[in-house]
Amino acid sequence: MQSALIVGKKICSSLLLRNWVRPLSAASDKLTNVEVNDKTGFAKLTMNRPPVNGLNLDLLRDLHQSIQDIEKNKCRGLILTSASNTIFSAGLDIMEMYKPDQERLKQFWTALQDVWLALYGSAVPTAAAINGHSPAGGCLLAASCEYRVMLPKYTIGLNETQLGIVAPKWFMSTFRNVLPRRIAEQALTQGKMFTSDEALKIGLVDELAATKEEALLKCEKFFASFAKTDPIARYLTKKQLRHNDIKELLDEKVQDVENFVLFVNQPSVQKGLGLYLESLKKKAK
Ligand SMILES: CC/C=C\C/C=C\CCCC/C=C/C(=O)SCCNC(=O)CCNC(=O)[C@H](O)C(C)(C)COP(=O)(O)OP(=O)(O)OC[C@H]1O[C@@H](n2cnc3c(N)ncnc32)[C@H](O)[C@@H]1OP(=O)(O)O
């Protein structure tokens, strides 16, 4: 595992502290970073895979581990954000799907499922400070949280149909949990990327903030709104509301991996992914 965990002493007993500290790798290797505010108990989970936080197998596994750690240590809130100044996450790393190693491809999709199950079903209140572009898988992560604060002039959305891809059911359920059904249907079928202002207008994000610091504060304010609620009652309510979406994936988890593998291996999909990668690289030149 490649994530670093920084924990405030006031919150964690020395036993917990021991549990939390995982071996730190060299700074340049860190893919996620967790910092816990010792006064509030809020954890900031930062994705740090330059240049675009492409969700590859390693980053996904790291994210999963970090979410589990935050959960185990009973933090009072989890804020997902990015170390980049312009990108929250570019979504799935297309390199994982292009000319893939078959065993790794299965592990990759399973890791994405696990991150979604952990984040969408988290007992800890969750929020995303969206400090950059957030297409596809990036949008999935943000939409899996309970609250979203976005910086201006970026884009967010599930753009799969524009790439000739069908978003899996659980991507769609996540959107439907946030957006009115008709808006979700239009956005998903069009593969629409929304500007920050548009996202605010339709309710895909809850607030805009001028800076990352302000976004983090607004996420913390959202967590503070639960100060007078019972944490167990809060969690059970969330759990029931999200139960069907989670159960649907759990019931079909293996089949979902098989569908994904079958889909990705289609020659037409491979061709499309290759062309898309090329277009991204040309754009970068
Ligand atoms: C029935 C159905 C059953 C099963 C369904 C099965 C499967 C389908 C489900 C799949 C769901 C897919 C989800 C996804 O997330 S797919 C990924 C979608 N992401 C995107 O389309 C975003 C693409 N990227 C961008 O738009 C821009 O890069 C971005 C994020 C706006 C940033 O722009 P910019 O700052 O200008 O940076 P560059 O474009 O120059 O990029 C820098 C560098 O990164 C490479 N890169 C960017 N995005 C990706 C990516 N997603 N994967 C891999 N690599 C990426 C880019 O090529 C550049 O590379 P270089 O080597 O040139 O530096």
Q: Active site includes 132?
A: no
78, 140, 159, 179: the active-site residue = 159
For residues 161-183, give the mean pLDDT.
Answer: 95
* pTM: predicted TM-score of the whole model, two decimal places: 0.92
Q: Is the CB of 95 under 6 A from ligand 1?
A: yes
ipTM of the complex: 0.96
Q: Which pLDDT does position 282 carry in this prediction?
A: 79
For residues 58-78, give the mean pLDDT.
Answer: 96
Tokens 């071996």 belong to 23
Q: Which pLDDT does position 143 carry in this prediction?
A: 98
Q: Is the CB of 102 under 6 A from ligand 1?
A: no
More reliable by pLDDT, 164 or 225: 225
Pocket test for ligand 1, best of 108, 266, 280 (most atoms within 8 A of CB): 280
Residue 6 pLDDT > 80: no
For residues 64-84, give the mean pLDDT.
Answer: 96
Q: How far, CA to CA in Å, does 9 sit from each of 12, 14, 166, 212?
A: 5, 8, 46, 25
Q: Is the CB of 121 under 6 A from ligand 1?
A: no
Q: What is the pLDDT of residues 77-120, one digit of tens each?
A: 999 999 999 999 999 999 999 999 999 999 999 999 999 999 99
Centroid of ligand 1 to alpha carbon of 187 (angstroms): 19
How high is the mean pLDDT of the chain?
A: 91
Q: Which pLDDT does position 7 carry in this prediction?
A: 44
Q: Which pLDDT does position 201 carry in this prediction?
A: 98
Cα(15)–Cα(13) distance, rounded to whole angstroms? Answer: 5
